[in-house]
Amino acid sequence: MTLLWGSGSPPCWRVQLMLEEKQLQGYNQKRLCFYKMEHKSQEVLDMNPRGQLPAFKCGNDILNESYAACFFLENQYKSQGNKLIPDSPEAQALMYQRMFEVLTLGQKMLDLVTYNFKVPEGERHDSAVQRIKEALTTELKLWEGYLNKTDCCLAGKEFTLADVAFYPVIAVIFRFGLSSERYPALAKSYNSLKDRPSIKA
């Protein structure tokens, strides 16, 4: 297995979490620098023609989308490491729902974080930033409500693929200064999971 990854990238962290959860340590890995445009190098393009990270290869199989890599690793290594898809249909339904909802949360975070990078200075507007902040706040309140109904994991008491998808996103949001006082359920989940061996690794 080979993983090309970049620091601070939730999709990269997702694949790293999966590899740890499935006890697949010892794979080939290389940390690349986004600021040096190393994700556009030929080494990456050979695996991921979009020039994005992660670039992940398992044998002859290339899985550059983090969700695809997560599902692949869970299915290929079912009996190894931690089981991340629950048995009951109800828990599975909730897990899949929350897992794919993470995409919306991640996009709303990215909209805010990357606004100044993507929008030329002369085209930036305070009202646009305010709308983006309000959309993220609305989304965070939704997740706060979800986590008020569970312990610290998204689909029940056990850590699942939903948490693999979610944790890197919420960790980045807290690193950007999300208020623990304003979002206590999100803070509880973040703090409860941050010492999980796969996350620490």
Question: Under a CB-based contact definition with an 8 Å cutoff, are residues 166 and 14 in contact?
Answer: no
CATH of 2-77, one of 3.30.390.50, 3.40.50.1980, 3.40.1160.10, 3.40.30.10: 3.40.30.10
pLDDT, mean over the chain: 94
Token pair in block for residue 181: 């006082």
Residue 61 is inside which H or E element, if any?
Answer: strand 61-62
Residues 65-119: tens digit of each pLDDT:
999 999 999 999 999 999 999 999 999 999 999 999 999 999 999 998 888 778 8
**CATH number 1.10.730.10 given to 89-199:** no
Beta strand residue intervals within 79-147, DSSP E: none
pLDDT at residue 114 in the model: 85
Measure the CA dihedral 46/51/54/58, to 10°: -20
pTM of the model: 0.92
pLDDT at residue 77 in the model: 96
Q: Which residue has the tokens 């890995």?
A: 29
Indicate the length of the chain as a whole number: 201
Helices (H), 34-119: 42-45, 66-76, 89-113, 115-118
| Topology agreement, domain 2-77 and domain 89-199 | no
> What sign results for the dihedral spanned by CA atoms 138, 144, 150, 156?
positive
Cα 128 from Cα 155, distance rounded (Å): 34
Domain boundaries, the chain: 2-77, 89-199
